[in-house]
Amino acid sequence: MSNFKIKSMKTASVFTGRCKMYRILLALALLLILQNLKIVGAVWRYGFIVEDERLVSINKVVILSHSNEQGGPVIAGWSVPPGCTVQGDPTKVPLLTCASEGYHRVAPLFKEEGYQEEERYIYVSKSYFTFAWYAVIPFNGFLEGGRKILRMWLIDPEQAEFSEIVKGSNYPSQHSYYLSINFHNLGQFPIVTLPDSTQKIYGHFTGYGYWEAIIEWNQPYVTVDISGQLISFQHRFVLDSLHSFYWEPYETFAFTSMPVPIKLAQGLMPVLNQDPCTPHRAVFLTQLAMTLTIDSFKDPRMVYVVPHGYISVPPWGFLEVSDAILLDDGIIFLMYDMLLWRSHRDKVLQIRPEIFFTGVRGMVQRTTCLADHPSQEGVDYGKVLVWTDDTVYIGGSRFTSPHSDGKYFKRLARSRMGGSFRTVAFGSDPNKIAILIMDSYYMVYLYMFNLKTLEFTPKHLLSKIAPDQILRGHIRMRFYESSKESFLMWNETMMWYSFRDDSISGTLSLPGFRDLSTAAGRSWIHEVVIDQNWNLLVKMSNNVVFFCKYGVTKLVRLARWILPSSPASLYSNANKLSFVVSHQDRPVKAYYYPLHLETLSAMFGGDYSCAYVTFKHNMKKYYYLDKGQENAFWAQLVYFEWKGVTIQVLRSNKALLDFDLSRDFELVHQVFTMNMTIKATQKKDFTSEPNYDLEMSLSQGIVRVEVMPNLIGNKCELPRNRVSYFSVGCPPNRHLRVTKHMTRSILQLDTYQFGYSLRPWGVKCEKKTFHNFTIPGSVLRTPQADDVVVIYDWEKYGCVFRMHYKAAFRPDFDLYDGDTFVRTVHSNFVVWEINGRTDFSYNTTMYQAGCLRDAQTWDSILKTTRYPVEQAWGPGIYKSCFVLDDATLGDMNRPYEIMNRSFSNSLTFSKEDSAHYIFTARIVDPNYSFCDLRATFAVQTFGISKPKYEYLILYVTLSFTFICLSILGYAYFKYVQIFRDLQEKKKHS
C-alpha cells in the first residue's frame, strides 16, 4: 500500500459515464419488458390483527388485501383450499380462516381473463399461544428520577377493542379485564426485562385488571421484553413479546423564513438510513419527499430546512440531495459532491467548516450498534464514513462533539498508488474498514484498514472475479457481524460473498439464473438488508425481494409485497419485526412484512430443509475477562441421526484466550441432543516475563466468538445473539474496597480484641472529627527538622480506621465492578504511607514467612529505581521470595513487607505517640489483574498518653524555680535598699 498513486479525475469521469450509460440501458430494457407483461401492476398481501406472525394458528383471522395500479385488474374473489373460508367483500378487506394445520394455497381471482398473480402457501400452525401481552406507559406514569410506570394486561387479539389494537388504550377493555383477572387467579404475572440486562422486574396486580411495574430508564425510548408463566386458560397460553415506547417529542420550531422541503435527486432509488442503536429513528428519501421518524414510522414527518448562506432554492421550490445520514443531533446531507448540515435544533441547512470539503463520492454509516462495545485505547470506532477519490474520513454519532482539531471528520487514509477509492464499508471487526480501490487500468483491489494499527491488509476475493463483472455500475459492500471477516459485495446485477476471511467465497445467486438482474426481470439491485434474525434480504429496483440465511449461498425469490412502481425500502424496527416502507401514497406508510411466513411460502414444495431441529445457547453479547478469570456457557443442538451436523466455535485473536470445549450426547428415538460446555479462560503466566509492560499490551484485546452449527439451510433458525465479544483486559470500573478485619493484640491477653471500631465499606461513620494532624519531621522517609501539618480530606479518604496502638492491623480487600461484588482478594499487596511516614512496621520477619531468599523491601526497591514511591513497586518488578534462585540470602530477621489475606503478616504502629496514617495499598501479583488495583485507607491509633506525674513534676519545678527567683530578687533589692540607707546615715553623721 505504500506505493499508492493518485488517480486522475479523467479516469473517474470515464468510469462514471459508463456506469450511467449502463443504468440507462437497463432502465430501457425494463420498460420494454413491463409493457409486454400483463402480470405486472397488481399485488396482494395479508396481515393480522396484531403485528405478530407467531399468533397465526387454527381458526385465527388472516386479513387479505389487494392493490393495483391505475387500470389494473379487478379482483373477483379468492382461491382457497377446502377447510379455509374467506368472509367479506373480496374487493375490500376479506378475512381468511383455516380450520386445519399446514400449508394452504391462497391466490386472488380476477374478472378479466389472462391475469394471474403469484400464489402463496400460508402456513397455519397448531399453536396454543393465542393470547398476547399489552403494555403501555400511561400519561401519569412518568415519575421523578427517570422512573416510569409500565402497565400491562392480557388481550385476545380477536376480542380486543380497536384502541388496544392500535396501542392507544390506558386501561383494559371489558374482555381484557376479565381475561387478566382469570389469569391472575391462576398465578400468572408478567416479568419485564430491560435491554442488555439480566435484571428481572416483576409486575404486581393492582385489582383493576392490570399489572404494574416500575422501570428505571433515562433514555427517551425503551424496548422491554415481557414474558409470563407457562399457565393456560381454556388450554391456551400467553405469548412472550417485545414492546417499544417512545417519548422523544418531534422538534417544534418556528421558522424565521419560508421552509423548503428536501427530496431525493432524480434517477436515484429510495434511500432509508436508520440508526443501528436506535432503530426507531430513521430517514426515508424519495423523489416525493424526505421523511423523518422517531417512532418506527407510526407518525413520520416531512423534513424541511431553512437554506443559509450560499445555498439557494431552485425555481421549483425544493432541494435535491443524493443521501442523508441521521445523527443524534442533526442530519448530514450529500448534495452533488459536498456535505451540508441541518441541526435538529434550528433546522438551518448550511455549509459548516467542520465538514467543508468537496469531491465527495459517497457516505455510509455503521450497520451494527457499538454503544456498549468495549472501548480500546486510541481507537475511534466512528459511525459515519465519507470518501473522496483519494481520501477516507470517519465521523462520530454527534456533530457537536468534533475532534480536537475542530473538524467533525477525521482523516483515515489516502490513496498512494495511482488509484481512486470506489466504495468503503465498516468491517466485521469494529477496528477495521474495507476500502475498494480501482487503478488507472480499471483493476480493482480490496483492502482492510485497521483503525488501531493504521495498516492495510489485502483481501483476495476479487482475484477470483473477472474485472469486467465487477465494473457494472456502482459497487457497494455490507459486512456481517462475525468472528471472521464476512461480507457481501454487489454491483447493479451481481452479488458476491466472502465468509471467514476469504475461506469460503463465490457468487450469491438464484438457481437457474446467471445473475440477479435476470432473475428479477432485468431489474437491478436496490438495497441489501441483514435483519436482527440473520436473514439476508436483497431488494431489487422493481421491489422483487430475494432471501437467504446467513452462510447460505443460494437465494430464494419471495412473492412481491409492494407494487413495482412504488418507491419502497425494507425496514426492521426495535421489536425485530420487518416492514416495507412505501411512499406510493401520502403519507409514508410502513407495511408489516411477515418474513417468516413469506419464506416458508416461497420454499414450499422445493428442496429446502434444515440439518437440525433446534439450536440455542446462553451466550451474552459482551464479556469482560481479567487475568485468570473464567467464563462458562453452553450450547445445545438437537438433530436427527446421520445428518453430520455439529457445533463449531469460531473466534478471532485466538492467542488471547484459551477455550475448553466438552461435549455430551443423548440419543432418543434417532434424535440426537448435543450439549456443549464452553469455558473461556485467560491463562497466560506473567511471572517470569522480562518485559512485563509489553506482554501486558500484547495480551489485551477483543475476541469475537461465534457459536453456530456447521450446516445451515434457509429453513434453519439462528439465535439472535450469534456473536459475542470477549474483552480481555481491565474491566470497566473495577476497583478495590477495604473491608473489616478484626485482629487480636500480640501483647495483650487473647480475650481482649482491638480494632473494634473498624468498619466495612458502605457503613456510615462520624466524619470530620478532626481536620488536620501533625507528623513529626523525624519519622519521615527523608527526615527534616520541621514537623508537617496534613489537612485530612474526608471526601477523598473517607472514614478512619481507629486502632489501639498495640494492635496489629491487616487490611482486607474485596474486588468490585462498579457496585457489583466480584470476589474477595487473596493476592499479594504492598502498602506505603502517602505522606512519607516510616514509623510503622510489620509483625512477621522473612524467616517467619518462610522465604528461601531475600524478600523485596521498600528500601531495596527505592535504591534500584528512578520512579517515585507511587510507581516504584508494582506487578512488573515483583519477585517472590518463595522461589529459590541465585539471589543472596541476607538478614532473614528483617520485616517481611508483603501482605496477603491468607497470611498473618500485619502492620504495627508507633509506640511513641498516637498517630494518623494514610496508606495506599497496591496489588503486586503479576497474574492477578490487568488493572492497576489500588486502594487508600486511613488509620488513627489511640492508647498512648503522657503520665500525670510527669506534668506535675514539671509544674512543681517551674513553680519552685519561680518562687526561688522571686525571693532572691526581693532579697537583692531589699539588701540594696538597706545598704543605701546605711550609706546615707554615715554621710549625715
Average pLDDT, the chain: 86
CB-based burial, 511-548: b 16+ in 10 Å, e otherwise: eeeebbbebbbbbbbbbbbbbebbbbbbbbbbbbbbbb
CA–CA distances in Å: residue 140 to residues 109, 147, 341, 795: 51, 11, 37, 39
Whether the per-residue pLDDT at 2 is higher than 50: the answer is no
Are residues 545 and 538 in contact, defined by beta-carbon separation less than 8 angstroms? yes
Mean pLDDT for the stretch of residues 890-906: 90
Give residue 765's pLDDT band: very low, low, confident or very high (50, 70, 90): low
Is the predicted pLDDT of residue 9 greater than 60, yes or no?
Answer: no
**By the 8 A CB rule, do 752 and 745 touch?**
yes
β-pair type (102-110, 120-124): antiparallel
Order of strands, edge to edge, in the sheet holding 282-285?
271-274, 282-285, 290-293, 301-302
What is the mean predicted confidence (pLDDT) over 688-706? 91
Q: Is the pTM of this model over 0.95?
A: no
Q: Is the pLDDT reported for residue 614 higher than 70?
A: yes
The reported pLDDT for the residue numbered 646 is 94
Task: Using the Cα atoms of residue 705, residue 707, residue 713 and residue 716 in order, give the sign of their dihedral.
Answer: negative
782/912 Cα distance (integer angstroms): 19
What pLDDT was estimated at residue 748?
35
pLDDT 10s digits, 628-651: 899 999 999 999 988 889 999 999
For residue range 353-408, list pLDDT tens digits in order.
888 778 999 999 999 888 778 877 767 788 999 999 999 999 988 888 776 667 88
pLDDT digit string (tens) for 408-465? 888 988 887 678 899 999 999 999 999 999 888 888 889 999 998 889 999 888 877 8
pLDDT of the residue at 751:
29
pLDDT given for residue 471 in this prediction: 75
26 has a pLDDT exceeding 60: no
Q: Which residues lie closer than 8 Å to 162 by C-beta, 6 or more apart?
A: none
> Average pLDDT for residues 550-577, to the nearest whole number?
92
Coil, helix or strand at residue 798: coil
With a pLDDT cut of 70, the percent of the chain lying above it is: 90
Please, are residues 591 and 561 in contact by the beta-carbon 8 Å criterion? yes
Task: Give the rounded percent of residues in the chain with a pLDDT score beyond 90.
Answer: 56
Are the C-beta atoms of residues 621 and 725 closer than 8 Å to each other? yes
Per-residue pLDDT of 100-111, as tens digits, reads 999 999 999 988
345 contacts 251 by C-beta, under 8 angstroms = yes
Can you tell me whether residue 646 is helix, strand or coil? coil
Q: How far apart are CA 652 and CA 706, in angstroms?
A: 9
Q: What would the pLDDT profile of 577-602 be if each residue is shown by its tens digit? A: 999 999 876 789 999 999 999 999 99
What's the mean pLDDT in 557-575?
92
Identify the pLDDT of residue 248.
75
Contact 737, 816 (CB under 8 A): yes
Mean pLDDT of 207-220: 90
State the residue for C-alpha cell 460473498.
Answer: 497
Check whether 875 has a pLDDT greater than 50. Answer: yes
Helix (H) or strand (E) holding 165: helix 162-165
The answer on pLDDT for 809 being more than 60 is: yes
Confidence (pLDDT) at 370: 85
pLDDT at 907: 93
**pLDDT tens, position by position, 237-249:** 999 999 999 887 7
| Residue 461 · residue 502 · CB < 8 Å | yes
Q: How sure is the predictor about 254, in pLDDT bands with cuts at 50, 70 and 90?
A: low
pLDDT at residue 705, as a whole number: 95
What are the tens digits of pLDDT across the range 466-525? Answer: 777 787 778 999 999 999 999 999 999 999 999 998 889 999 999 999 899 999 989 999
Q: What is the mean pLDDT of residues 183-192?
A: 95
- Quickly state the pLDDT bin for 561 (edges 50, 70, 90): very high
DSSP secondary structure string, 933-977? -EEEEEEEEE-----HHHHHHHHHHHHHHHHHHHHHHHHHHHHHH
Handedness of CA 350, 355, 357, 360 (dihedral sign): negative
pLDDT at 580: 95
DSSP per residue over 890-913, as a string?
Answer: --TTSBP--B-TTS---EE--SSS
Asked if pLDDT for residue 20 goes beyond 60, the answer is: no
| pLDDT value of residue 375 | 77
Per-residue pLDDT at 292 exceeds 50: yes
* Mean pLDDT confidence for 213-225: 89
pLDDT of residue 256: 63
Q: Please tell me the predicted confidence (pLDDT) of residue 946.
A: 57
Retrieve residue 242's grid coordinates: 417485545
Cα(844)–Cα(899) distance, integer angstroms:
10
Quick one: pLDDT at residue 41?
A: 62
**3-state DSSP call for residue 858?**
helix
170: which DSSP letter?
S
